[in-house]
Amino acid sequence: MKQALERIEQAAKKELSEIRDSKELEALRIKFLGKKGDLSAIMKDMAKLSAEERPVIGQIANKVRTDISEAIEKRAEELKAAASELKLKEERLDVTLPGRAPKLGKLHPLDSVMREIEDIFIGMGFDIASGPEVEYDYYNFEALNLPPDHPARDTQDTFYISDKILLRTQTSPIQVRVMEKKKPPIRIVAPGRVYRSDAVDATHSPLFHQIEGLVVDKGITMTDLVGISKMFIERLYGENLKIRLRPHHFPFTEPSAEVDMECFNCGGKGCSMCKGEGYIELWGSGMVHPKVLRNCGIDPEEYSGFAFGMGLERLVMRKYGITDLRLLYENDLRFLEQF
């Protein structure tokens, strides 16, 4: 039995030298040291030995088990070290290579022009005002001289949340909120997102952006409105720009005027984008209606003011020569990276 134990130890160490991975190593451990392994099979014959031989053979068997276990552990460490070395070689980095600069983002053309417009008005002494996009019917319509039965409400295709709460169709409610809280002189611009149930096409979207302005003080006239409008257009687009003012009607201004700009698609000749007019409407404006001033607690006998509102998307399209509004919302980097 002693010779058998020695043969098991020699066989185990020989096979260990040929082991190449942990899977083979585990198979070897089970073969020699497992419950049904070679060493266990030898130990089952211990009962056949005499009382004098049993402790001697038992001591030899324990030494063989210990030697094989230690040899397996040593081989496991060698395999682990070899695997680590191989991994380091495979994942080696060439530190002499130039670094890869992270790709930086930039402003969307809508945000870029919005900031430019805000800077223009700040330079003219205006403050930037903001308000909620989910608005009360009162601020969106009634305070602006649009009672529940007014036909102008139908043309705005409003998204109602309840009878009294809606997604604002314009940023005009911000003007009302400012006039309620602040006494004249007032000079603000109110930019932000607005919502209308419009079908999506080259010039319309159910979500778009407006920039509205308001000036209220003593002695404000239509001349001031025209001067501010002309100065704004020249600062945004440059001089020698063709615009036109034409009479219009808005419930919250009197008198009122539309400001149009030469069509940037056809150069004023008339096309499908401008519907043959040669001009595209950019914003509405006018003198603040006395009733609106009165609704906000401002005496129209003492103060007057003007207001204007423009669509940001149309200004961006004019500035960059974009012919389809949908391009601004499709998140196509091939398009956006041009700006």
For residue range 82-127, list pLDDT tens digits in order.
Answer: 888 888 787 777 778 788 888 888 899 999 999 999 999 999 999 9
Would you call 257 helix, strand, or coil by DSSP? strand
Q: Is beta strand 186-195 parallel, antiparallel or unpaired with respect to 207-217?
A: antiparallel
Contacts of 100 (CB under 8 A, 6+ apart): none
Q: Across residues 9-26, what is the average pLDDT?
A: 78
pLDDT tens-digit readout, 215-251? 999 999 999 998 898 888 888 877 777 778 899 988 8
Mean pLDDT of the chain: 85
The answer on pLDDT for 51 being more than 70 is no
User: Domain 109-336 carries which CATH code?
Assistant: 3.30.930.10
Is the model's pTM score more than 0.75? no
User: Residue 138, Cα to own-chain centre: how many angstroms?
Assistant: 32
Where residue 291 falls among pLDDT bands split at 50, 70, 90? Answer: very high
CA distance 326 to 294: 40
